[in-house]
């Protein structure tokens, strides 16, 4: 399969760097180092509007759906065909880097500019999508915008999940002018979409350490998240002998160590367990902690092992609590299954790497992504570009070179045009696709 046009298009690294700097400047005042632009905040909407303005200036049709996802469409020569799409997210975790999600959005913006400036024609409509609320940092659940598009989250799910200030997803949506009761209208229909390919930073160090410029993702980890509550007995740190304590934090600390040991044992190669947040009360140096909340994130590419490991850790927590006279309870927060991405979309990315003379590595994603949530509705793929600084992410030290990102954009645009060149029967038979221009 060859796309005569794709390989000639070259992304402009300086333009990418400039857009990344624009988005990086959109951060909560006084939020400390890095970028803080949380889900369903005015700042996230401002970032979506910056994207929308860029796309409108290129003549694309732009709209925002009821979930807050912003779509831009460049017409194809055959409007009867389903859309080929790319995109990512613009919200961040607190004190994030400047590339997670943003890399895929500035890639979309650069591809729209390249196609416009060089008047490239394509058969399918091309859509560029910015999903809302991809990060789970604020509400616990990740990918709310793409989960709604993928039919995994409905209006009924938006009232129970709350942030640290007790604000529900639905209330946060209303605060930025969205109507959470209308999200059903934002659900994607399979017949409207041909394929979706997301560009994302790797958020690991495999590509950098192996000096490979492109990752082609074959599977995306799932995540099971829950909060453990430890109720012990607050008491005087001087007057209470060690053998008479019910120390909630000591119990939680033992569970955190047990979680690490569980993820490292021989049965769990590939499982990752993290307790990224611990709330302790009353939080006084002279009072034994009476209550503690530990927030647990279990990740795996093996669906059964992911859920079984989460259940095993809850059992261990109960056992530790009993031994210490500390009551333990678990509250589910979010759950997403791992997904395997279809090989024919993956092959379009591999083909693009061959067209560009680039080495690539087929690899899993440890992080979750919007692609995972819509992959049940539209055949999807992912392109990774290298993360430097030991693959650090969700941190101000996150780093991807603009030149490396430009190489990823070159591969992405070639892959999208290759997908456009493939003939296809009904969506169900897409596996046998052949390329029209091979
Ligand atoms: O948490 C994740 O894996 C992603 O960054 N939302
Ligand atoms: Mn991301
Ligand atoms: Mn992230």
Examine the pLDDT at 283 and tell me if it is beyond 70. yes
Average pLDDT (11-24) is 98
Ligand nearest the Cα of residue 143 is 1
pLDDT of residue 422: 87
Question: How buried is 401 (Cβ within 10 angstroms: 0-12 exposed, 13-18 middle, 19+ buried)?
Answer: middle
Q: Are 198 and 108 in contact (CB under 8 A)?
A: no
**pLDDT tens string 100-127:** 999 999 999 999 999 999 999 999 999 9
Q: Is the CB of 368 under 6 A from ligand 1?
A: yes
Of 185-189, 267-271, 373-377, give the lowest mean pLDDT range. 267-271
pLDDT of residue 423: 74
pLDDT above 90: percentage of residues in the chain: 93
Residue with CA nearest ligand 1 atom 4: 368
pLDDT above 70: percentage of residues in the chain: 95
Q: Is the CB of 88 under 6 A from ligand 1?
A: no
Query: ∠ at Cα 213 (38, 390), nearest 5°?
Result: 55
- Interatomic CA distance for residues 206 and 352, integer angstroms: 21
Kindly report the backbone phi and psi dihedral angles of residue 232, in degrees, each rounded to the nearest multiple of 5, phi listed first: -110, -135
Enter the tokens of residue 309.
Answer: 């490991």
**pLDDT tens string 79-95:** 999 999 999 999 999 99
**pLDDT tens string 419-429:** 999 876 544 43
Examine the pLDDT at 435 and tell me if it is beyond 70. no
**Residue 57: helix, strand or coil by DSSP?**
helix
Q: Is the CB of 198 under 6 A from ligand 1?
A: no
CA of 95 from ligand 3 middle (Å) equals 11
Average pLDDT, rounded, for the chain: 94
Q: Is the CB of 291 under 6 A from ligand 1?
A: no
The verdict on whether omega for the bond into residue 282 sits within 30 degrees of 0, i.e. cis, is yes
Q: Which domains does the chain have, with CATH numbers?
A: 6-220+339-430 (3.40.630.10), 222-336 (3.30.70.360)
**pLDDT tens string 306-328:** 999 999 999 999 999 999 999 99
């Amino acid at each position: 399969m060859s796309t005569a046009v794709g390989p000639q298009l070259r992304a402009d690294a300086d333009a990418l760097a400039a857009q990344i700097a624009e988005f990086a400047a959109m951060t909560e005042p006084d939020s400390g180092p890095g970028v803080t632009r949380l889900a369903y905040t005015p700042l996230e909407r401002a970032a979506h509007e910056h994207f929308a303005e860029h796309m409108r200036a290129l003549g694309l049709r732009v709209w925002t759906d009821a979930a807050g996802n912003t779509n831009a469409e460049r017409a194809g020569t055959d409007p009867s065909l389903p859309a080929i799409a790319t995109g990512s997210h613009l919200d961040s975790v607190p004190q994030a880097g400047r590339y997670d999600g943003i890399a895929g959005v500035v890639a979309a913006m650069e591809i729209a500019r390249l196609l416009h400036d060089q008047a490239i024609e394509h058969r399918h409509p091309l859509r560029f999508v910015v999903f809302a609320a991809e990060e789970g940092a604020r509400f616990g659940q990740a990918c709310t915008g793409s989960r709604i598009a993928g039919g995994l989250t409905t209006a009924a799910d938006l009232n129970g999940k709350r942030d640290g200030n007790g604000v529900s997803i639905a209330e946060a949506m209303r605060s930025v002018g969205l109507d959470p009761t209308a999200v059903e209208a934002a659900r994607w229909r399979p017949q409207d979409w041909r394929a979706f390919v997301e560009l994302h930073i790797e958020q690991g160090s495999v590509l950098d350490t192996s000096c490979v410029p492109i990752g082609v993702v074959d599977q995306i980890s799932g995540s099971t998240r829950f909060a453990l509550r430890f109720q012990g007995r607050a008491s005087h740190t001087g007057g209470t002998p060690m053998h008479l304590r019910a120390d909630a934090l000591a119990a939680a600390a033992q569970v955190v160590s047990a979680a690490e040991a569980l993820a490292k044992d021989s049965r769990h190669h590939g499982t990752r367990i993290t307790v990224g947040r611990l709330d302790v009360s009353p939080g006084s140096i002279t009072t034994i902690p009476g209550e503690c909340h530990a927030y647990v994130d279990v990740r795996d590419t093996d669906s059964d092992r992911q859920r079984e490991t989460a259940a095993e850790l809850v059992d261990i927590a109960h056992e530790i609590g009993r031994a210490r006279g500390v009551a333990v309870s678990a509250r589910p927060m979010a759950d997403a299954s791992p997904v395997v991405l279809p090989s024919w979309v993956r092959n379009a990315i591999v083909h693009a790497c061959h067209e560009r003379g680039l080495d690539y590595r087929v690899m899993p994603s440890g992080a979750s992504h919007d692609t995972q949530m819509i992959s049940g509705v539209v055949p999807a793929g992912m392109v990774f570009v290298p993360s430097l600084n030991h693959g650090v992410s969700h941190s101000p030290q996150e780093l991807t070179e603009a030149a490396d990102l430009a190489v990823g954009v070159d591969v992405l645009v070639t892959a999208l045009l290759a997908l456009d060149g493939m003939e296809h029967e009904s969506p169900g038979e897409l596996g046998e696709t052949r390329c029209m221009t091979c």
